[in-house]
Structure 1
Amino acid sequence: MAYAVMTTWKHKNPIDWKEMASEDFSKMPKGTTVQWFAIDEYNHGSFATYTSKEVYDGFKAELNAYREEASSSREIEKTLDVVGPINVDVG
């Protein structure tokens, strides 16, 4: 069953989408999708879908290390973190 992770982030400075788009996602597990969306000039959301909870659990330590580095280098703070199985997929 697919597994979803949604986070929101508060930036100290206005969001630089060009810089964010230059991130290297080559280490993401196969089949993972990630979307980032604007909430306002200083806040963004992230929605990631993993092929299963097991895939997410296996990648979680690397994801947390990335988040810790990004939080420091970009001066951002995580304001929401929710995870769970995708029970309905329309589309």
Structure 2
Amino acid sequence: MKYVVTTVWKHPVKIDWQSMRQTMSKSKDNPHVAEIHWYEIDETTHGSVAIYHSRDAYEANLAFMQEHRSNSISERGIEMFPRSAW
């Protein structure tokens, strides 16, 4: 069964969607992720929907995601709002 995780991210400046697409393209090589979608909420906020092949795939990817999120928060000043998982 698929496992879905949603997050919302607030950026300190207007989002550069071309740069975001380049970053997102790297996620396509992740064997744990079935699909990932980013969407605009407003010019400084975006949401993401990550669909994993299973909860086990999500858990296998968790350390990588935590490191990526930590870097995004500390290096880019991006704030992550609570996530939901199903």
Q: Distance in 2 between matches of 1:16 and 1:47?
A: 19
* Bigger proportion of residues as helix: 2
* Letter matched to residue 68 of structure 2: Y
Kindly state the Cα deviation for residue 72 of structure 1 after the two structures are TM-superposed.
Answer: 2.1
User: Which moves more between the two structures, 25-34 or 57-66?
Assistant: 25-34
Query: Structure 1 regions of 5+ residues with no counterpart?
Result: 85-91
TM-score of the superposed pair, with normalisation by structure 2: 0.88
Query: Which secondary structure does the structure 2 equivalent of 1:15 belong to?
Result: coil
Aligned-residue CA RMSD (Å): 1.4
What corresponds to 2:79 in structure 1? 77
Q: Distance in 2 between matches of 1:47 and 1:26?
A: 13
Indicate if the aligned counterparts of 1:29 and 1:59 stay in contact, CA closer than 8 A: no
Match of 1:34 among 33, 36, 48: 36
Kindly state the Cα deviation for residue 30 of structure 1 after the two structures are TM-superposed.
Answer: 4.8
Matches within 5 A, 1:18-29: 18-23=18-23, 24-25=26-27, 27-29=29-31
TM-score of the superposed pair, with normalisation by structure 1: 0.84
Q: Distance in 1 between matches of 2:2 and 2:29?
A: 19
Query: Structure 2 regions of 5+ residues with no counterpart?
Result: none
Runs of 4+ residues over 6 Å off in structure 1: none
Identity %: 35
